[in-house]
C-alpha cells in the first residue's frame, strides 16, 4: 500500500478517536449540569417549604407563647395580661377600624406594636421574633398606631373635682381640685439643625410633654411635641388656647409646681419655702408655719403626677431612650403610650408595675358638664394668691388645734 494512503487512514483514525473523546466530554458535562440543576431544584423546594409552611408554624407558635400560655409571659412581653390583650384587640376592631390582613391577624399586629413600645425593639429584631419581613413590621406598626390614636376620645378620662365631703387625707384639703399637672422630658431623635431647639437644661435632646392626670393617676390630657427648650408655662398657655386643648372649669383647679404661675385654675406652692417630699424626712422638723404645712400637703397630693410618669416610663421602654422614627411619628407614639396606660389601668385588676408605686385610689366616673365655663388664660392675680392663703391658713389652724 502506498505510503500516502496509510497516512490518510492514520489521520482518519486519529480524528475518529478525538471525536469520541470530545463526545464523551460533552456527555459528562451535560450529566454534571443535570445533576446541578436537580440539586438546585431540591434546594428551592426545601426553601419554599420552609418559607410557607414551617414559617407559618413558627409564627403561630410565637403568638401562642405570647398570649396563649401564661399571664406572666404576656405581661413581661406586652405589658398586659391575656384578658386585657384580648379586650384591646376587640376594641381596636370595633372602634379603631383595625382589620385582619391577608396573612397577619389583628392579634399579631397588636403584638408587634406592643413589642416595639414595651422594649423599644428595632425593626430587624421584631422581624426575627415574629418571622415577618421588615416591611410587614413597619407597615403594621403605623396601622396599629393610627387605630390606637382614634381611641383617645374614650380612653383619656375627664376628671372629677374633690367633693366637699371628701375624707381622703391627701385630697380633703383641696376642695374642687381636679388632679395634678406637670411636664416631662422624653428623649427623641431629631435632625442636627433642630437639636439646639430640643436641647434641655441638662443637655439632653428631648421633647417637653405636658400631661394632666386625675387623682387616680389616669391621664386627662397630653400635649407632646414641644421642644425641650420650651418653658413649661409657655406650653400650658398654648394648651389652653388650642381648639381641643386643656379645659379647666371655673371654680376648679389643678395642682402645679413652681414652673407655672399661681393663677386661676392652677394652684402652686409658696416659693422660697421647702417643698419636695425628700425635704420632709423623719429627721427634719415638722412644719413650723402655715406656708410650710401647705407646701407639704401640696407636695403629697401633687406627687400623683410624678407617680403616673414613673409608671408610664417603667411600662414603655420606648419612652426611656430616643427612637429612630421621624419626629412626628415619635410624638404619636408618645401619645399612644399615654392612651394605652389608661387602658391598662382600667382593665387590669392587678398591675405589677403599678403595685410598686402603691396607688390605691379608686376609679371614678365622668360627670363634668359640657356647658361649663372654662379658664382661657393663666395670669397671676391677688385673688388667687388670697385663695391659696385661705387654704394654707385653714390647714394651719386645724393642724395646731390637733397638737
**Is 190 or 9 the better-scoring residue by pLDDT?**
190
Residue 330 to residue 116: CA distance in whole angstroms = 12
Q: Could you report how far apart the first and last alpha carbons of the chain are, in Å?
A: 147
**Rg from Cα positions in the chain:** 34
The pLDDT score that the predictor gives to residue 272 is: 85
**Is 35 or 365 the better-scoring residue by pLDDT?**
35
Residue 61 to residue 111: CA distance in whole angstroms = 13
The answer on pLDDT for 20 being more than 80 is: no
344 pLDDT band, cuts 50/70/90, is: very high
Of 372, 368, 384, the C-alpha closest to 220 is 368
- Measuring CA to CA, how many Å separate 395 from each of 167, 184, 286, 398? 14, 30, 14, 5
- Measuring CA to CA, how many Å separate 336 from each of 212, 215, 381? 15, 21, 36
**Is 273 or 114 the better-scoring residue by pLDDT?**
114
What's 350-373 look like in SS3? CCHHHHCCCCCCCCCCCCCCCCCC
For 173-213, how does the pLDDT look when each residue is reduced to its tens digit (9 = 90+)? 999 999 999 999 999 999 999 999 999 988 999 999 999 99
For 163-177, how does the pLDDT look when each residue is reduced to its tens digit (9 = 90+)? 999 888 889 999 999
The answer on pLDDT for 282 being more than 80 is: no
The answer on pLDDT for 359 being more than 60 is: no
Contact status, residue 225 vs residue 207, Cβ threshold 8 Å = yes
The answer on pLDDT for 379 being more than 70 is: no
For 214-271, how does the pLDDT look when each residue is reduced to its tens digit (9 = 90+)? 999 999 999 999 999 999 999 999 999 998 899 999 889 999 998 898 988 999 999 8
The pLDDT score that the predictor gives to residue 349 is: 83
Residue 119 to residue 320: CA distance in whole angstroms = 10
For 95-114, how does the pLDDT look when each residue is reduced to its tens digit (9 = 90+)? 999 999 888 899 999 999 99
Residue 190 to residue 197: CA distance in whole angstroms = 10
**What number of H helices and E strands is found in the chain?**
14, 5
Whole-prediction pTM: 0.79
**Residue ranges covered by each domain of the chain:** 1-150, 158-402
Amino acid at each position: 500500500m502506498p505510503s500516502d494512503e496509510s497516512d490518510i487512514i492514520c489521520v482518519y483514525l486519529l480524528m475518529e478517536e478525538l471525536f469520541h473523546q470530545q463526545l464523551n466530554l460533552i456527555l459528562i458535562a451535560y450529566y454534571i449540569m443535570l445533576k446541578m440543576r436537580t440539586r438546585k431544584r431540591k434546594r428551592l423546594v426545601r426553601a419554599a417549604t420552609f418559607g410557607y409552611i414551617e414559617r407559618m408554624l413558627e409564627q403561630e407558635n410565637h403568638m401562642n407563647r405570647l398570649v396563649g400560655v401564661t399571664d406572666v409571659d404576656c405581661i413581661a412581653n406586652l405589658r398586659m395580661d391575656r384578658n386585657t390583650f384580648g379586650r384591646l384587640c376587640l376594641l381596636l376592631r370595633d372602634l379603631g377600624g383595625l382589620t385582619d390582613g391577608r396573612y397577619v391577624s389583628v392579634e399579631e399586629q397588636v403584638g408587634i406594636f406592643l413589642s416595639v413600645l414595651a422594649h423599644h425593639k428595632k425593626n430587624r429584631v421584631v422581624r426575627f421574633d415574629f418571622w415577618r419581613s421588615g416591611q410587614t413590621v413597619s407597615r403594621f406598626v403605623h396601622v396599629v398606631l393610627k387605630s390606637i390614636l382614634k381611641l383617645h376620645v374614650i380612653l383619656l378620662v375627664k376628671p372629677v373635682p374633690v367633693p366637699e365631703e371628701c375624707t381622703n387625707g391627701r385630697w380633703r384639703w383641696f376642695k374642687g381640685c381636679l388632679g395634678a399637672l406637670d411636664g416631662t422630658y422624653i428623649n427623641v431623635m431629631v435632625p442636627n439643625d433642630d437639636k439646639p431647639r430640643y436641647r434641655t437644661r441638662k443637655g439632653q435632646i428631648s421633647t417637653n410633654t405636658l400631661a394632666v392626670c386625675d387623682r387616680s393617676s389616669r391621664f386627662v390630657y397630653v400635649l407632646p411635641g414641644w421642644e425641650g427648650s420650651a418653658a413649661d408655662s409657655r406650653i400650658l398657655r398654648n394648651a389652653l388656647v388650642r381648639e381641643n386643648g386643656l379645659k379647666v372649669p371655673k371654680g376648679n383647679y389643678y395642682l402645679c409646681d413652681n414652673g407655672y404661675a399661681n393663677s386661676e385654675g392652677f394652684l402652686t406652692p409658696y416659693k422660697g419655702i421647702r417643698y419636695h417630699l425628700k425635704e420632709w424626712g423623719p429627721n427634719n422638723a415638722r412644719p413650723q408655719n402655715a406656708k410650710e404645712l401647705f407646701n407639704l400637703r401640696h407636695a403629697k397630693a401633687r406627687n400623683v403626677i410624678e407617680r403616673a410618669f414613673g409608671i408610664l416610663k417603667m411600662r414603655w421602654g420606648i419612652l426611656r431612650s430616643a427612637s429612630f422614627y421621624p419626629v412626628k411619628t415619635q410624638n404619636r407614639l408618645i401619645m399612644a403610650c399615654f392612651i394605652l396606660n389608661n387602658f391598662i389601668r382600667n382593665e387590669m385588676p392587678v398591675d405589677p408595675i403599678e403595685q410598686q408605686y402603691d396607688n390605691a385610689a379608686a376609679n371614678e366616673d365622668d360627670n363634668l358638664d359640657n356647658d361649663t365655663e372654662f379658664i382661657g388664660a393663666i395670669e397671676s392675680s391677688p385673688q388667687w394668691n388670697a385663695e391659696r392663703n385661705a387654704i394654707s391658713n385653714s390647714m394651719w389652724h386645724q393642724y395646731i388645734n390637733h397638737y
